[in-house]
Chain A
Amino acid sequence: MKNNIKLYVGLAAIALMASCKPEIVKEYETSNPQNVNFSKYIAVGNSLTAGFADGGLYLEGQQVAFPGLLAEQMKSYGGGSFETPFFSEAQSNGSGYLRLKSLENGRPVTESVTDKLAYTGAGVLAKYSGGEINNLGVPGMRLDHSGVALVSAGNMYFSRLLPDAEVGKKSYQDFVENRSHTFFSFWLGNNDVLGYATNGAVNDNPAGTTVLTNEQTFKAVYTQFIGKLTANGQKGVVATIPDVTTIPYFTTVTRKALLDAASAIAGQQIPALVIATKSGPRVATDNDLFILPFSSLAPSLLGKPNALQAPYGFHTANPIEDKYVLDAEEAANIKVHIEKLNAIIKQIATDKNLALADANAYLTRIKNGMLYNGFGISSAYITGNVFSLDGIHLTPIGNAIMSNLVIDAINAKYGTKLEKVDASKFRGIKMP
């Protein structure tokens, strides 16, 4: 009988080893697979494509830029190598950026990172010395400037990528052309609205960076650029322009917070804030959006008397300047304008059989917060995990989520099986 026992113990041991670890065979399903060639993917866009974060372009941000994460997922499906114009380790802080220095009573204090920068002179970054690149994102690039050669001279991120001979002579569209790509992502247009909006809907920059691009120009240039990118029937993905009025750059500094701070400094209750608008000064409401940098200007500006002895921001004779406020009318106009531009993007995507990542719809969804794998994401400054310290650009988590949005769009359009990026592996804001 002893043998029997051994037999059963033996059988049990075999069963144990054979089925110890469960194997999930389930794979996700897609329908309508099309022939998509990921072998040479290029990423066309602005700061969001380049990996700009925390008010600067630096190595860590570049490394988590959504095109790089996307390219990594493409590798299992015929994707080739994907080169990003990384800053070197010695110059890893690139243009410099903001970091959180401390929290004082729960209030964030930021400081600039000033070591390991890549400058060779004022406003001049060291040339990128590597070979051919796939991530062609240029911070600050506007759609309406994409065909203008002169722009490359005024944009240090762009001129960094060009040989001296081409600076000021090569437009972004020309820079992107002739790269024999097989697939592209295209996310331009944000700055055509953002430049205007972040300046409080005041167009005062002679370089044209604060213009609100009109529909006609937008449609013409978008059509032209996409025409070039799809000239050989290439497939690609385009993204919509997020409603900029939902980003922390505009939603963090509230009227109430300003009033409380001003009252505390003045030692008396300040009844109201007065802002300058296109139709004259008026009392601010909660629908008026103060820009994020105003939070650091406010303590010295608010209440400061002008020549008429009117205190800044408290009196119609000395209102808060228009450029610091996106007032309710301006915000509403911008929202409508973005919808019109997004309609153009969607139409062109449909016409050209391109995938559409609706960044605008997604941002609207997370505006008030949602849970992603057990952690909260929202458009809230710092705590929302998605937006970096500049209140405009994405954190690594935000980039990973953006990658997944793009991946979903590509899979939905082309029936591919690009795998999702595990966004929970990435970080939000670094805390001191």
Chain B
Amino acid sequence: MKKILFALLLASPTLTFAQGSQVNTQGIRALGMSGAGSALFVDETSIFYSPGALAKATENSISIGASAVMYRSAFKEVNSNVQHDTEFQISPPFSVFASFGPKNSWWKAGIGVYTPFGGGVNWGTEWPGRFELNHLSMRAIYIQPTLSFKITENFGIGGGFVYNIGSVDLSRSIPVFDQNGNPGRAELNGIGTGMGYNVGIHYNLEDDFAISLSYRSHVRTKLEDGDAVFTVPTALSTSFPNTKFSAELPLPSSFNLGIAFPLGDKVDLAADATFIGYSIYEKLVFDYEQNTPVLSDTEQIKDYENALSAKVGLNIHANEKLDLRFGTGYVYTPVRSKYVYAETPDNNRVMGSIGFTYNISDKFDFSGAYTLQRIIERTTTNIATGMSGTYKTNIHAPGISLTYKW
């Protein structure tokens, strides 16, 4: 039987992109306080946290840090008791900060290379949302040369230019089935770049009270010439040609206020509040270089809200060699309930952290931190995919860094 009278039309895959996945592990000292400490720590990591403070650092230094971020997400479809877990995997954000300048001068220069956004989830190909997402890993690497000046002994100002290299790698199943009944698959990966800046001021009253204000601009990361690879039954290969794609991912701005003051001889308290301009992330558009009747460009509404986070931590100067830290924080999610996607099953999150710095010598110190973030359980129905269920996520992030001072 040959049917000659109609043509096939299949829905284009819409593809997703993570973003609400921010875990700040740039400075291991701050990580030990859940991200608080922009006003407290005056060192090379100020390049990221408070560019105005950098000029106040007494020494030049370089630090190398790395952390192991582990996202563990779980999903339970509505009216089901079957829990689906993401596969265990580690995203390794890293950071390098270095500061240079004449000793006791009114200025300092620095450079930071760090990953403010990034993460990975792998739901696999056998979960109820496989047509939404199989796996995603994405990373934004910021390179930030910075200059900082002391206007007075107590008042510093600084700023840096940010160049971002972002990468994304994702896959999802597509609902076309081969002779064995297995679905097709779309894999996309690409690298994009963007630019922005980071400015800040830092003020302190001798060893008493310190305040930091900083602003990191948004960075529109443009992906060009990404690779889109489709695995589909032979009969559909011309409908799903392997092609290039472009997309734009706006990374949000943030405005940070930090304060720090001593609670006693050996104890400092630091608190930070950050306003994150996530509302810039309105939609995600994929533009395929080669369109076919079934492979058209896609637009996915994200409609993020601005978000707010608050962090507070204690730094305890235990002895000459050792500082201990504790911190806790709360983050309001930018993701509205109906736009929760599997790539970032976000919700408000609580976090707790511990950390330390051990002074090996005058030149070297070693820091470690561990933070646990708990994304509060969220039951939602996604308006674009129809997925309905409950997500829950734990994020574990241990990290270490080594600093050399001269």
Contacts and interface: CB of A to CB of B under 8 A. Distances in A.
Interface of A: 1, 4-5, 8-9, 11-12, 15-16, 19-24, 26-28, 98, 100, 102-103, 105-112, 252-254, 257-258, 261, 292-293, 295-296, 298-299, 370-376, 380-383, 385, 396, 407-408, 411, 419-420, 422, 424-425, 427-432
Contact of B9 (A27, A296, A383): A383
Given A106-B239, A107-B4, A428-B177, A422 B234 contact: no
A60 to B, nearest CB: 8
A296 B1 CA distance: 6
B233 A431 contact: yes
B80 interface: yes
B86 to A, nearest CB: 9
A19 B5 contact: no
B290 interface: no
Given A28-B78, A424-B128, A372 B8 contact: no
7 contacts: A4-B318, A16-B370, A16-B398, A24-B392, A295-B5, A424-B128, A432-B234
Contacts of A374: 129-133, 172, 385-387
User: Chain A at the B interface: mostly helix, strand, loop or mixed?
Assistant: mixed
Contacts of B393: 22
A12 B370 contact: yes
Interface residues of B, number: 76
Contacts of A27: 81
B206 interface: no
A376 B6 contact: no
A261 B128 CA distance: 41
A15 B80 contact: no
Given A111-B1, A428-B177, A105 B354 contact: no
A396 B356 CA distance: 57
B394 interface: yes
A427 B7 contact: no
Contacts of B88: 20
Nearest to B183: A427
Contacts of A24: 74-76, 83, 377, 390-392
Nearest to B394: A22
Q: Please list the 4 inter-chain residue pairs (A to B) with the smallest Cβ-Cβ separation, ordered nearest first.
A: A374-B132, A431-B233, A374-B385, A427-B181
A73 to B, nearest CB: 10
Contacts of A98: 1
A26 B391 CA distance: 10
Interface string B359-386: 0000000001010101001010000111
A22 B392 contact: yes
A1 B79 contact: no
B174 to A, nearest CB: 8
B384 A26 contact: no
Given A15-B372, A22-B392, A28-B79, A8 B321 contact: no
Interface string B174-198: 1111110111000000000000000
Contacts of A293: 1
A374 B324 CA distance: 47
A372 B132 CA distance: 10
Interface string B157-186: 000000000000000101111110111000
A51 B368 CA distance: 60
Given A22-B394, A102-B235, A430 B83 contact: no
B76 A26 contact: yes
Nearest to A397: B175
Nearest to B391: A24
B334 to A, nearest CB: 21
B85 interface: yes
Given A385-B175, A431-B233, A21 B8 contact: no
B216 to A, nearest CB: 29
A128 to B, nearest CB: 25
B126 interface: yes
Given A20-B70, A109-B2, A372-B386, 7 more contacts: A1-B322, A8-B324, A24-B391, A28-B78, A107-B3, A295-B5, A299-B4
A30 B127 CA distance: 25
Contact of B132 (A15, A112, A373): A373
A427 B177 contact: yes
B10 interface: yes
A406 to B, nearest CB: 13
A362 B239 CA distance: 30
B385 A4 contact: no
A427 B183 CA distance: 7
B234 to A, nearest CB: 6
Contact of B7 (A20, A107, A298, A419): A107
A257 B393 CA distance: 51
B322 A430 contact: no
B396 interface: yes
B131 A396 contact: no
Nearest to A11: B354
A12 B79 contact: no
B178 A430 contact: yes
A20 B72 contact: yes
A381 B324 CA distance: 66
A257 B172 CA distance: 34
B80 A5 contact: no
